[in-house]
Chain A
């Protein structure tokens, strides 16, 4: 018996030894991911900043954002664009019948806030880098501020009534979230607060950015100033709008594309008047979901240019060159398609802001401040670039403002501006060449803004739905 026990003990010892041999260390269970790094360690070097800012631009390429819908939706809700018979995308917005379940609103809301998260990650990184790279670090942080400012501007335009809708802008805007916290359930800030955030972000970015990028595919000091010009214009701050537009124009970094090169410039990555554009390469192209493919024959071809805008363009104007005849079209569908984003294989760049807009912003800002002749000069510059022989604008007062609005509509058509302009100018939508279910929408109207997505309402009880949804 004793012997047996002794024997057992030996075996037991042997077993323990064997088991411990195969027992692996702590590391056996502590497996690190191969495709990702931990969030804490992500933005700690200049390379980390570069990757993070690249990620922020990447988010803007999404077909929910500058890749398509953010630009498309305000146009299909306007009098510049009409539905083609087989339109199957964004149709509910085009017809003003969307509801809070809408996938486009949901996608846009999520994507823009995700862009903001990406910016917050950079802005809040709080890392001290070597003095030699301080300027580059500041540039990246500045770009993050600029993108965040733009993202809030885009959100508040899409999901809230415009600045000036109420006298003190106390109407609901969108929630402002500046730090990552997975548990937040924020209520909507007022439009006044959101615009204050936008201005603060853009002003900050102007201070931080000192490096001029080689290509207008990233934010720059001028791009931030240009965006500020637009923001101030929306806010009715004419003096600041003029100041910012002037700063960009006089920076000397941009020049208007010539009449001869105007049409071909739309198929180029960028042009001399591009201040900030979202670029696409074959590997980050949105495929069928690219903005241009909503218009062109080789794509879905869901939307067509409205005769309402085409008829505003004088004969001989180079801007008639951004249309292309489609023999399959007839009747009230017209005869042409939008060809501003013509490439059927690799997605064309989406212009976020261009120099011609600066002249038109300044024209309006000046006209509003009764600087009539300077305003006329600005609008003439754009008009004559389109049609060199065009007569000078001589109108004054409201007529001048109307001329500027018309010129801006023609110049920026299909770039996602028209709905915002209508709202800002407190105008009703009237479609004369109408192929939609809805041919007119009176100002003011709940339907000019998108619903807060139902998914967000369900997840965040503090956020209020827009009226009418």
Chain B
């Protein structure tokens, strides 16, 4: 605590450095066309003192000293400067539409600033890119729009969790997810459900309510978030009202979706003919006679196929296409109404929305209801109170993934087409349970016989009061809470599938999370000696998060329609758990600029957290940054063609506190009961030295504007993560298999380039092009021993996501048996698995480069065509289920995918698929081999929107402010480098694909009307 007071005192003494006379300037701000600009920013040059214009575009501002310069800016308009003095104190500003992005106001940690003053790496996305995207979560829109950021779901389940990586993976075993901050509150993101496969707490946020998303990437921008800043920070700012008459916006959308992978690409199940042939062949390859094989077939599938006297297939009597049976055309719809407006003392933004999406697989879907009220009250010029409140409710219907029998997109291929979907009573067939995967029937399961769903209620409120103590000195106290309530329900019917042996079972889970945070900040801005702009921020923040879970389950369901636990014959689990974490922090930031040419910034934060061991509970993080607007120098004024040139650099530290809540304790946990006697056991090795992972980040960037129509940014960054938490394998003879330690180090470095160009900019026709590309390199720089993690190996000197696999060498054309390379030299082939070893072949799940590009055409301001592509190159996908689905008969008597049709049948056949034999073919379906690895390089048309804006003449007739009708396609087209790729290339960050719900291709039509 001593340190905190010391720091505060130092900072506060800085504040007493100035005291000058001042005068008032009044004025109005209008556009070129004479329309009042409401909410335009007016700043006294060289300071951060400023105000915004009111409903009439008017403003009033105090300027210190005897003269000064006012800088007036408005999003999308060219900023202008006006000299003011006590005698020249009335300004009528007129702004023209801008091509430069440097003038916009950007939200940063604990405040906002003009883009020109930024010394760090900060990218924003405005509401126009976020509204009416037919995807459930806002993070999904970030992919391809922000350089250096990867956002993927790898799962088409509506409301699926989105993985976001900013400038690569910064951690080995702690979280690599960025910090999400909504209107100043660090919130819970990601998946907190227990029995659902994939969920996203952020899906409760209505993307239409968002004004901007700002991504903070380097230390200058993120160090103010201290021990939680190292993976980057995503600041989400919701819309607020502006003074003026009420504006009402109504948005509706409806659409259809299917699999994003085209029909000819995706895996197909076998037909009964194909399966029967394979079935018989599989037994004969085991040395059985055809007669015996047919006997077996008839034992499994009585009557499904009629065989002739010589064993030929005469007639197919049962033909089930399980994948077709669980597929459908998905649908989505959304309705969103918002109203905003206000007067000089009160402004508001209110909205209500409904969003629904059904995946192209039956059952899978999401419904969301949300409402919001953002209110700002200014009782006096010095006092402002805001309250942002949002309530949302969502229902998600999900399914299993991976190699679970209940995964319909896994079982759907495995189930023999010779098994009927319905039994002779018209029920879903389940009589194959004795020999076939527990008698799972995905069609029945997804048609209501089973359930796997959850709902989430989230209430978020942020109340703040701001008081201007002295001119330029503001105190702000913000208090926020975020309440999340999740109710999960998981049910398996008693008759067939996973519930068959227990008479059916159900699990209900309730998760309740309360996250509160209080932030007190003092902010001071001033200018002295005219050209010295100075800003300071100090703050104190405390946060606590508490999550409670209650799980109960039961089995033995007498009536399949009564599914609450009250109807279960035997309760099997009743348990609850509680977990907490807390943070306490002080922080400060200093900004200085000289003549708006040279900018310097520094930030510091001291964080303490309950997550860190007693020996390392507090840490301090800091950053410095500087920028130079070269284009503002006198010598630059004669250079034609370059409108803007700004060089900036930053260096600093931050941390990653994304570790377990009680990781540092040596623990003895309960729950290992024996026959009803409560039991416990050592549950955590514990490490009192355990602490945050630390990151040192360097960034250098150049922002430029050329020929008045090209703007861009090029950046180079390095991100060195150290003290990485590692679950280092320890000898299992200790009783534990790993120990969490701060040990490893990793480095991400890369180049990001963003370019935007207005190629044609005429009054009746505009055409613009934009794009970004990120080259990313990851390297583990310290690790004393290799860690094998499934398909990957973590090894010093190599990419974090390096695959470590046995090298598949195809099929021996003479024998139809599998072959591998024995080792890295690839000099020797063998068919014996005991002679092969895994090695790094240079293939990784980390892309060499990725990004997006877009183009937009507008004709007479009425018709617009927007296209956005995303791409990612040089990374590999691993199909974790292929060893079963393409197992060459290893799992009797499961069906396979169409890939088995290429199997080896006779000497001379050149193919990559070994011969088929029940019980397997010489380990041809080994795990962790390159046979299941595919190049994922792709370009995808993420968005194609054709829109028509009604002309003003028509609008006036209908008393409308605006009206827009559009057709929007999502993921319409995908180009892949590997033409045999059957998986969706947009997979999880780790490249593993485990038979998920397919990603969606969507076509929507929408209508937006403004009153």
Please list the residues of chain A having a beta carbon within 8 angstroms of any beta carbon in chain B: 1, 4-5, 7-8, 11-12, 15-16, 18-19, 22-24, 28-31, 33-43, 50-59, 61, 85-86, 88, 99, 109-110, 113-114, 116-118, 120-121, 174-175, 177, 180-186, 217, 279-284, 287-288, 293, 297-299, 301, 328, 330-331, 344-345, 437, 453, 455-456, 458-460, 463
Within 8 Å CB of A280, what residues of B? 675
Q: Does B1007 contact A (CB under 8 A)?
A: no
Given A36-B669, A455-B729: A117 and B682 within 8 A (CB)?
A: yes
Q: Interface on chain B toward A: helix, strand, loop, or mixed SS?
A: mixed
Within 8 Å CB of A117, what residues of B? 681-682, 734-736
**8 nearest interchain CB pairs?**
A117-B735, A54-B679, A42-B668, A55-B681, A58-B672, A57-B674, A460-B731, A55-B679
Q: Of A15, A28, A50, which contacts B584 at CB under 8 A?
A: A28
Pairwise interchain contact B732-A328, C-beta atoms closer than 8 A: no
The docked-state distance in angstroms from the alpha carbon of A302 to that of B786 is: 36
The stretch among B11-19, B259-267, B976-984 that forms the contact with chain A is B11-19
Pairwise interchain contact B434-A328, C-beta atoms closer than 8 A: yes
Pairwise interchain contact B15-A455, C-beta atoms closer than 8 A: no
Within 8 Å CB of A35, what residues of B? 577-579, 669-671
Q: Does B503 contact A (CB under 8 A)?
A: yes
Within 8 Å CB of A345, what residues of B? 501-503
Given A23-B1, A31-B582, A182-B734: A11 and B672 within 8 A (CB)?
A: no
Within 8 Å CB of B737, what residues of A? 110, 455, 459
The docked-state distance in angstroms from the alpha carbon of A19 to that of B540 is: 7
Pairwise interchain contact A15-B522, C-beta atoms closer than 8 A: yes
Q: Does B891 contact A (CB under 8 A)?
A: yes
Interface centre among A56, A58, A185 (most CB of B within 10 A): A58
* Besides A11-B470, A42-B680, A54-B678, 19 other A-B contacts (C-beta < 8 A): A8-B470, A22-B518, A28-B584, A29-B584, A29-B610, A36-B669, A85-B893, A110-B732, A117-B681, A118-B735, A175-B733, A184-B733, A283-B572, A288-B501, A297-B434, A299-B501, A345-B502, A453-B732, A460-B732
Within 8 Å CB of B475, what residues of A? 15
The docked-state distance in angstroms from the alpha carbon of A56 to that of B542 is: 42
Q: Does B665 contact A (CB under 8 A)?
A: yes
Indicate the size class of the contact surface on chain B: 35 or more
Within 8 Å CB of A118, what residues of B? 681-682, 735
- Chain A residue at smallest Cβ distance from B735: A117
Within 8 Å CB of B469, what residues of A? 11
A-B contact pairs, 25 of them (CB 8 A): A4-B19, A8-B12, A16-B8, A23-B542, A36-B662, A36-B670, A39-B667, A40-B666, A52-B668, A53-B679, A54-B672, A59-B672, A59-B681, A86-B891, A99-B833, A182-B685, A183-B730, A282-B572, A328-B434, A330-B295, A453-B732, A455-B729, A455-B732, A459-B730, A463-B731
- Chain A residue at smallest Cβ distance from B435: A86
Among B487-508, those with CB < 8 Å from A are: 500-503
The docked-state distance in angstroms from the alpha carbon of A35 to that of B502 is: 29
- Chain B residue at smallest Cβ distance from A11: B469
Distance to closest chain B CB from A424 (angstroms): 25
Pairwise interchain contact B675-A38, C-beta atoms closer than 8 A: no
Pairwise interchain contact B785-A458, C-beta atoms closer than 8 A: yes
The docked-state distance in angstroms from the alpha carbon of A85 to that of B297 is: 12
Q: Does B244 contact A (CB under 8 A)?
A: no
The docked-state distance in angstroms from the alpha carbon of A85 to that of B731 is: 37
Q: Does B851 contact A (CB under 8 A)?
A: no
Pairwise interchain contact B731-A36, C-beta atoms closer than 8 A: no
Pairwise interchain contact B617-A29, C-beta atoms closer than 8 A: yes
Within 8 Å CB of A175, what residues of B? 731, 733
Distance to closest chain A CB from B612 (angstroms): 8
Pairwise interchain contact B679-A52, C-beta atoms closer than 8 A: yes
The docked-state distance in angstroms from the alpha carbon of A459 to that of B674 is: 31
Q: Of B1, B518, B673, B786, which contacts A54 at CB under 8 A?
A: B673
The docked-state distance in angstroms from the alpha carbon of A174 to that of B579 is: 39
Within 8 Å CB of A24, what residues of B? 542, 584
The docked-state distance in angstroms from the alpha carbon of A291 to that of B434 is: 17
The docked-state distance in angstroms from the alpha carbon of A1 to that of B584 is: 36
Interface centre among A23, A116, A299 (most CB of B within 10 A): A23
Q: Of B8, B685, B919, which contacts A15 at CB under 8 A?
A: B8
Pairwise interchain contact B577-A283, C-beta atoms closer than 8 A: no
Pairwise interchain contact A31-B729, C-beta atoms closer than 8 A: no
Contact with A along B288-299 (1 / 0, CB 8 A): 000010011001
The docked-state distance in angstroms from the alpha carbon of A36 to that of B581 is: 15
Within 8 Å CB of B502, what residues of A? 345
Within 8 Å CB of A301, what residues of B? 434-435
Within 8 Å CB of B572, what residues of A? 282-283
- Chain A residue at smallest Cβ distance from B548: A34
Within 8 Å CB of B680, what residues of A? 37, 42, 51-52, 54-55
Q: Of B12, B785, B890, B892, which contacts A85 at CB under 8 A?
A: B892
Distance to closest chain B CB from A299 (angstroms): 7
Within 8 Å CB of B686, what residues of A? 39
Within 8 Å CB of B683, what residues of A? 36
Distance to closest chain A CB from B490 (angstroms): 14
Q: Of B540, B555, B667, B734, which contacts A181 at CB under 8 A?
A: B734
Among B263-304, those with CB < 8 Å from A are: 292, 295-296, 299
Q: Of A16, A57, A186, A282, which contacts B731 at CB under 8 A?
A: A186
